[in-house]
Structure 1
């Protein structure tokens, strides 16, 4: 039992498997990272929103570029905190354990995000909330009873009405990806633990940063229990490297979302400097003073104005990243004991004034920009349309007990054909589970959220338009 366990999930065996790739070639953790790099959920992030939905400027970040940047920042911090971690485990190797674990956790941290990010999460939750009088029961809309013993207990409704991408990430990693033995990407216990940002279930308890949200669905409870047995982590406890991954996410979206504002021309480098110096009260901050000095040097050159602007953007990024990495490293070192014994509760970037100021710039000038708000509104409408169609395709089948059963009506048959077969297989397999996760209605709803969260922004919008144009025929 170790937080650095390289064991893979084997419910039918207690033997360790390395899949034929010995440690002399790649460590288990390096294998985990490589599996993620080549996986389809990672590729789909290229067409998922970071801040600017479906932006025409290729230089503006997608969820994929954001995830690669988080992974890279995590690897850099990992190299600096390694000596501290090694004090608690002398045999741990930086290159073969800490860095690949952080790369994997950073790359995978947003895999479960639906189209249009947090607005997509809200749209999914709202769809369920508006239907909660019947959607969690064994009835159709209107009260028609369709089968028995398939209700979802009310304490699990928030998994749907408060849908969140974090537990969906774990579900992708361990359940949904196609695998010969049905184990998802079949990652090691330590990689999965480091990726588990929130460590409680929807009906569980945890305090501090790790308890702000629920981190796994009831459908993945058995895997989480295995992770805990294997690593020694308990509910409410984080893997030490999860704190680093979270800090790198904060660094990336505070600094780099501001850089996207600059790339789009919505702010100038001088605007950012003025806001940091005057509005946020950070006058005298050494990083800001260095940026101001950098700007003076750039302005003293005879280079074209647009080139000077680009150079200033680079200085903002480099100086602020360096400063916030120092904050994260120092915080980890300061709180190493509580982090390593899993009693720590406060994020490494919590209350840092520079990180907070940059986040506020992104919120004030990016998240509320009319372009973003319009795209999010269009995305929410598309989400509602497609979810309704997907639910009809899932529910309207000839045999209520068989999810593979033929659909009733041509429209439902068409829409059901768009659902990933491995998602349907996962829903069918879950019927062997005891408890709420094994009930038919829970599996139907999980299949719906699997499909919706797996879509990219572009696919969602195209499908919504396609379904709108598809003629409706009575009884079809």
Structure 2
């Protein structure tokens, strides 16, 4: 077992030394080996196009005019920062626990997976995931096994056990696909990340076929059949099997929970929907949080701010910063403490409960976010608009993909003017990935599976603005 395997997948073309760069321009200048393989991983992610796209993907507030409100990009940077901090906290208390160098291995892997964890999310966040899944559900009577709504049965139907990859579409396996398949690479290796980083990035370590309904860790599909070969290779290197998690994945998941519980509330205050004093009062009266030391400390600090007699606007901003700092500090300590208490099970790969699952302060904060952020009319309105846009765009791109003269040839001539236009918009690297998947074994090699995978690749890769602008353009075209 080697949690920290720095192996990278072998490419089909030119053999290469592991020290040499696989992607010139990103890793050049490291001939002296002053960066570890895992620091290379982080930098490859940081400079990648999907990370930049996160700046126009929804965290909570879609396309908000307030530039102080978080996007998926700022959220991901914060998760990466929190993960690095918590990893350092744990390693400082238990230097022997991980059996790997903190600065060259643990910190860069945590930073990398924190940065990558939301890359596969479609436009409009979780509502976008639901919209994609609903599109498939509405067509489940034919899309998986017939050549049309009233058509003939396909030779290579999509097996039932993988259909939930589409009807329950989730951004997590799309993330894994994005970093291992969809980014252009000389040897078709995506971002060519190490086995250890890929393993730690796999939040749900199960396929659609082995997911366990309502399970906290195995309840969602974590990788698609199209990436099963990559997962098998990775697991052989790190010694982690199906339904086993890499130790650092627990930390990344906890940091995502901290961000959702505290930083989404921070945005609510930034937008002046509720005040920091409102948040404090809620926490003081909630049975789950009222006696927490952090709440008591914030109460004292708020009184000190009142005594300073600063202007109300300045005092408000100071209080927001204090709330954020003290609450983050409290949950970082809680995560480190819980992780260390569960470390034997975590390192033995038998742990099965999220680190913050029973954290009362975190639960209280999540309820504030649900009530004042996710349920806000402006959020719900934009989510409804986004869902309608994605539904129509899915149909538009399905026509572009499927309406061709030769069913077995993705490059075959399109049969309608609208399909020709739509096909011209599909990313060439996504098309290349769909064609290359024919070399796989199992359901991911079938034409229909590859068509559906190409459809979800295209739509999930869009930013919020691109999706809305293209939707408006498509609606204006004559039918």
Distance 2:189 2:440 in 1: 15
1:67 pairs with one of 76, 83, 87: 76
Cα distance change, pair 137–54 in 1 and its aligned pair in 2 (3 A): same
Distance 1:383 1:19 in 2: 42
Gaps of 5+ in 2: 22-29
1:257 corresponds to which residue?
A: 264
1:42 corresponds to which residue?
A: 51
Cα deviations by residue, 1:62-100 (Å, 9 ceiling, x for unpaired): 01100000000001111111246642454x211100000
Q: CA deviation at 1:22?
A: 5.5
1:320 corresponds to which residue?
A: 327
Assess if the C-alpha contact under 8 Å between 1:431 and 1:438 holds in 2: yes
Gaps of 5+ in 1: none
Assess if the C-alpha contact under 8 Å between 2:211 and 2:221 holds in 1: no
Assess if the C-alpha contact under 8 Å between 1:105 and 1:245 holds in 2: yes
More off after superposition, 267-276 vs 8-17: 8-17
2:204 pairs with one of 198, 213, 224: 198
Residue 156 in 1 paired to residue 165 in 2? no
Assess if the C-alpha contact under 8 Å between 1:109 and 1:195 holds in 2: yes
Assess if the C-alpha contact under 8 Å between 2:157 and 2:448 holds in 1: yes
2:244 pairs with one of 237, 243, 258: 237
1:356 corresponds to which residue?
A: 363
1:2 corresponds to which residue?
A: 2
More off after superposition, 237-246 vs 277-286: 277-286
More off after superposition, 206-215 vs 256-265: 206-215
Q: CA deviation at 1:112?
A: 0.5
Q: CA deviation at 1:424?
A: 0.4
Within 5 Å, give how 1:373-412 maps onto structure 2.
373-412=380-419
Cα deviations by residue, 1:206-229 (Å, 9 ceiling, x for unpaired): 695321211000000010011110
2:27 corresponds to which residue?
A: none
Assess if the C-alpha contact under 8 Å between 1:153 and 1:436 holds in 2: yes
Cα distance change, pair 415–250 in 1 and its aligned pair in 2 (3 A): same
Assess if the C-alpha contact under 8 Å between 2:280 and 2:299 holds in 1: yes
Cα RMSD after superposing both structures: 1.6
Assess if the C-alpha contact under 8 Å between 1:7 and 1:16 holds in 2: no
Q: CA deviation at 1:2?
A: 0.7
More off after superposition, 27-36 vs 76-85: 76-85
- Give the secondary-structure state (helix, strand or coil) at the position aligned to 2:151: coil
Distance 1:124 1:85 in 2: 44
Q: CA deviation at 1:148?
A: 4.0
Assess if the C-alpha contact under 8 Å between 1:8 and 1:16 holds in 2: no
Assess if the C-alpha contact under 8 Å between 2:79 and 2:115 holds in 1: yes
Aligned length: 469
1:78 corresponds to which residue?
A: 87
Distance 1:202 1:149 in 2: 22
1:110 corresponds to which residue?
A: 118
1:268 pairs with one of 254, 271, 275: 275
1:121 corresponds to which residue?
A: 129
- Give the secondary-structure state (helix, strand or coil) at the position aligned to 1:135: coil
2:429 corresponds to which residue?
A: 422
Distance 1:144 1:336 in 2: 55
Assess if the C-alpha contact under 8 Å between 1:67 and 1:106 holds in 2: yes
Distance 1:23 1:369 in 2: 53
- Give the secondary-structure state (helix, strand or coil) at the position aligned to 1:300: helix
Q: TM-score, normalised by structure 2?
A: 0.95
| Structure 1 consecutive aligned stretches of length 4 or more whose deviation exceeds 4 Å | 11-16, 20-23, 83-86, 205-208
Assess if the C-alpha contact under 8 Å between 1:138 and 1:150 holds in 2: no
Q: CA deviation at 1:432?
A: 1.2
